[in-house]
Amino acid sequence: MSGTPITDQLRRSGNWNEAWDEFAELDPQWTEKFMDMGTLPMRSGVLNRKTIELIFLAVNASCTHLYEPGVRRHIRGALDQGATKEEIMAVLELVTAIGIQACSLSAPILKEELAARQSGAHHKAK
C-alpha cells in the first residue's frame, strides 16, 4: 500500500500536474499533505462539483498560475457538470481583475518616468 493515496488518485484520474513530479519524488509525504489540503474542498462534498470546477478554473486561469492544461481540464469539467458558456466566461472575466493591478501600479510609474526623461531629470528609484 502506498503512503500517498491522494497523490496516487490524482495521477490515476488525470488531475495530476506534472510540475509536482519533482516535489513528489523529493518529499512524497509533504506532497501528499499538500494535495490533501488542496483537494479537501473537492473531497468533502460541501461544494457541488460544478462549483469546484469553476473555482479550479479560476485558479488555473489566474495570472499568478496560467496553467493551460488545468484551464482546459476544468473548462471541460465545468461543461460536463452543466456549466454554461456564460458562467465560464464570468469566471474568466473575474480572474482578469487579478492582473489589472499590474496596469494600475505600472501605468503611473511609466508616466512619471517618461515625464522625468522628457524633462531631463533622471532620478533614482524610490
For residue 73, report the phi and psi dihedrals to the nearest 5 degrees. Answer: -60, -40
Residue 124 located in a structural domain:
no
CA–CA separation, 67 and 8 (whole Å): 21
Most confident stretch, 27-31, 42-46, 114-118: 27-31
- Tens of pLDDT, residues 60-118: 999 888 888 889 999 999 999 999 999 999 999 999 888 887 777 777 888 998 899 88
Domain at 37, CATH number: 1.20.1290.10
Residue 60 located in a structural domain:
yes
Domain extent at residue 40: 5-119
Residue 32 located in a structural domain:
yes
Element of type H or E holding 3: none
Number of domains the chain is built from: 1
